[in-house]
Structure 1
Amino acid sequence: MTPSLEPFGNTEKVIHAAPIGICVTDADGLFEMVNPAYCDFYGYREEELLGQPFTMVVPEANRPSLIDLHERFIAGESDLEATQEWEVQGRDGQPKNILAKAARIRDGNGQVKKVTFVLDITERKSLEQRLEFLAHHDELTGLLNRRAGLGLLEKEILRSRRYATPLCVAICDLDHFKRVNDRYGHAVGDSVLSETAELMKDAMRQHDHVIRLGGEEFLILLPGVTLEEACQAVDRLRQRLETTPLAAEQLWLTLSAGVAEFQGNEEAEALLERSDHALYRAKHEGRNRVRVTA
């Protein structure tokens, strides 16, 4: 049996005083009652909501599915709707995240209504998204972190084997970066790393992947190119960095890089080791250069 508000004379007072958003909509989805917490959350006055469709607080793209959900709940047999997470929007158009729980009731005239309880989880959702991002990305530069980058390399290796397409990797290291931290401090060093990351992403192709391995060392995955093409791309990056002043201090840095092409029978570890040996050669021969494995 569908519950009714009729026996409880103080129900409206309870709804009005509730610390969470509560609204009552009719069978057509029009607001019949909204409490102050609901109005505060969405940024509307009570009179601006009453008589309006509940979809006014829902992004346009989600309205058809929510209207369908509302109609099926009103016509259904269950008096309680499962708790669901939704993206909504306030009067300012900014997205918000809620947990919504609904109950079906009847008024004194036997008309079916829907009472929806809204819990604001915007901050929690933002934190979850931030933690998810940090699980795969370097916090300073926004690049993929070492773990995610090596996982991506494994996927690129599988793709290269499956389709017999070339794959190259480059390990890049900023030359004498320790001097920046020693002379200007770690804050300036962080600015240099962040700007270098942006420069690297901008200099490489859309399908290349730039990864921060740690410190001043970066890994670049270059799928679909030969060793010669990869060397040319990385050398263009080297030249661009060499001619670009970094941070407010206008510092000039160079990089050394080692490039290796994937051999179909080797594992990721062996490929990276060959690239690292080429990087060592670049540094041993004077830095600010690109070298390949023998």
Structure 2
Amino acid sequence: MPTVPRFSLSSLTAKTLLLSAALCLLLLGLGALELASSYRSALKQGFNQARVTNLLLAEWIQREFREIDLIQSALAKQLGAADFAATSDSPARSALETRLVRAMHGMPQAYDLILVDRDCKLVLSFKVSPGFDASERSYCKAMLANNRDDRFVSERFHTIAGDDVVLATQRVRGDDGKVIGLIGSAVRVEHFQTQINRAMIGNRYDVLVFADKRRQLLARQPMLPKLPTQPVPDPEAEAMIRNQLSEAQYEATSPFDGRRRLHATRQIEHLPVIVSVGIDKETLLEPWWSKLVLFLSSWLVMVLLIVYATRRYLHNVALSEALSIRSAAIDYAAEAIAIADGNGVVQYINPAFSSLTGYRLDEVRGQRQLAQLLLEQQPELHEQLAQAIHDGKHWRGELTSTHRDGHTYVETVSVAPVRDQYNELIHIVAIKYDISAAKKLQADLERLANTDELTGLYNRRQFLQRAQEEIARGQRWQRPLSLAMLDLDFFKRLNDRFGHGFGDEVLRRFASCIQFNVRLEDVCGRLGGEEFAILLPDTDRYNASLIMQRVREAVEQISLDNPLGGEAVRFTVSIGISELYPGEETPTPLIARADAALYLAKQEGRNCVRTG
């Protein structure tokens, strides 16, 4: 019989020590890679945090000027050449001033409202005497410029009244389309500081900044004792403006406190305003430094443990015998296998069985009955299994079992008796298969069958089923139930103009909007095309109208980027509401009345809510 080659103890010791050293170095290398990765992740998280805050602030600034723009546009349509020629003591001037005062009530952020004529002469202001020559002001130059954009927002400037302001203007055109002057709303820089002070920042060293395109500060948090009169040096922001980029991310050191920060800077579209958010790098990396210290400490402990384990291993190698080789076919089988003797006492379980159930071989061998081990949560099946084994038949079942750590799984169990040549039962073999993934796939397929693939809302079949259930509940307990039918206005035009891909995005955004603006107990569904429906349990038609008004207003605020370029695309929705009548048992009449109300909403101009 050939001899088995053996390693000498000294050779094995050397190799074990080399392996231990390599393992220590490997752990150090992996830790270094993880630390490098977490360092990059921390910086990325900081930039992302700055960018998200930046986007929110930019949206707020746009909303501030959007409110001004809406009111000024309305006023511009009402003004005529006579309003720019009215004398200060005329009745027409008094009426004009009254109109402008009412308009300012709708713009709390506005400090002053001015009229400037075609010759750049100040016609009316509540803060400055008429007659001021504004020809050198950027807003007057913008009015006289040969371009189609009637709206303009100036940089920060110092007024003759002694205030630092930003002026938002709107050209006023006569009936012939020619420019006859401009109307402007002055917003004091202090307003931006007041608003930015309300924003939440991550820590006391983070900064939020508003500046104009000349990099003159409009507001800063934390607030400076006094805003600098000169532009703040920022090469990265200068490059962004020069290259006409919308945003930039970079590291920079503050000229005010010398701290290094991660900046996300953005030019606000159509406005000469820059928003910059700076996340303090030192504060951001404090958890990373703690992680570095923890890693080095853990690595040292791990090295000590490896040294101890290596010594123990070498000691055991010198004293122990080679372990008996198990049957590879069973030990490494993917299926969980258990074998019991003729009396049903477990003699062996393979590693797959241990992994599936959490039981170790030494815990069950000679101590547990196979039926108890397999059917721990189903004791009522013990007799059925015993009868099948007694009859010499295979027993199969699909069970929901619980792992020792508490998680549940679905399995199929197959048990077969093994008999000798004398027909005596000598072994019982059980094979288990984990089918949890297949069951989850089945559940996912059922979910896909009940929901609309595009929007994630209930499809027509599932929505009608839920409606039937809510009607039965409402009639049983005599509770109100309302149904709203929603239809996107002119959706076919959007599809025809921008394509079906854009139309699908409209439907997705609309579905997300209605889910966000209704209650948890309300049921939303897509019945087909651009037609949607919402069930409102325990809600009468009056309260349903209030909820749907909120939905309609929210939809009206949705803005999508124009795939063809130009202004953002908006859309509206028409809504019809009906309430469940006593005695109704199906959704059909409820839907019919809501459809009729929806038709009425369409007839009355769309973008409204009507009840039926």
**What TM-score results when the alignment is normalised by the length of structure 1?**
0.71
Cα 1:150–1:81 change in 2 (3 A) is same
Partner of 2:414: 101
* Counterpart Cα distance in 1 of 2:425 and 2:562: 68
The structural deviation recorded for 1:247 is 7.8
Partner of 1:59: none
2:350 equivalent among 15, 26, 34 = 34
Partner of 1:155: 469
Cα 1:137–1:78 change in 2 (3 A) is same
* Counterpart Cα distance in 2 of 1:118 and 1:71: 16
Work out the number of aligned pairs and report it: 266
1:203 equivalent among 510, 517, 522 = 517
Task: Answer whether contact 2:576 2:595 (CA < 8 A) is retained.
Answer: yes
Partner of 1:282: 601
**SS at the partner of 1:264?**
coil
With a CA cutoff of 8 Å and minimum separation of 6, indicate the structure with the bigger relative contact order: 1
Task: Answer whether contact 1:31 1:49 (CA < 8 A) is retained.
Answer: no
* Counterpart Cα distance in 2 of 1:247 and 1:51: 65
Cα 1:24–1:145 change in 2 (3 A) is same
Cα 1:75–1:275 change in 2 (3 A) is closer
| AA partner of residue 275 (structure 1) | A
* Counterpart Cα distance in 2 of 1:106 and 1:33: 20
Give the alignment's Cα RMSD to 1 decimal: 4.3
Q: Identity of counterpart residues, as a percentage?
A: 33
Cα 1:265–1:111 change in 2 (3 A) is closer
**What TM-score results when the alignment is normalised by the length of structure 2?**
0.37
| AA partner of residue 591 (structure 2) | L
Task: Answer whether contact 2:338 2:346 (CA < 8 A) is retained.
Answer: no
Partner of 2:548: 234
* Counterpart Cα distance in 2 of 1:285 and 1:146: 27
Write the deviation string for residues 102-142 of structure 1: whole angstroms up to 9, x where unpaired. Answer: 246699xx998653213353453233213322332222222
Partner of 1:51: 362
250-259 vs 165-174, which moves further = 250-259
1:167-206 correspondence to structure 2 within 5 Å: 167-206=481-520
2:590 equivalent among 259, 263, 271 = 271
Cα 1:51–1:70 change in 2 (3 A) is farther
The structural deviation recorded for 1:191 is 2.9
**SS at the partner of 2:362?**
coil
| AA partner of residue 495 (structure 2) | N
| AA partner of residue 338 (structure 2) | C
Cα 1:201–1:33 change in 2 (3 A) is same
Cα 1:232–1:117 change in 2 (3 A) is same
* Counterpart Cα distance in 1 of 2:534 and 2:605: 22
* Counterpart Cα distance in 2 of 1:32 and 1:248: 68
Cα 1:242–1:41 change in 2 (3 A) is farther
The structural deviation recorded for 1:72 is 4.4
| AA partner of residue 376 (structure 2) | L
The structural deviation recorded for 1:258 is 0.3
Partner of 2:457: 143
| AA partner of residue 100 (structure 1) | V
| AA partner of residue 210 (structure 1) | C
Cα 1:67–1:279 change in 2 (3 A) is closer
Larger Rg: 2
**SS at the partner of 1:212?**
strand
Write the deviation string for residues 26-79 of structure 1: whole angstroms up to 9, x where unpaired. Answer: 8999782427xx47996x9xxx9543569xxxxxxxx99726649947994542
Instruction: Determine whether 1:244 maps to 2:562.
Output: no
| AA partner of residue 234 (structure 1) | M
Partner of 1:258: 576
Cα 1:191–1:68 change in 2 (3 A) is same
* Counterpart Cα distance in 2 of 1:126 and 1:153: 27
**SS at the partner of 2:527?**
strand
Cα 1:24–1:282 change in 2 (3 A) is same
Cα 1:136–1:68 change in 2 (3 A) is closer
* Counterpart Cα distance in 1 of 2:524 and 2:412: 37
Contiguous gaps of at least 5 residues in structure 1: 1-11, 55-62
* Counterpart Cα distance in 2 of 1:158 and 1:215: 28
* Counterpart Cα distance in 2 of 1:128 and 1:82: 21
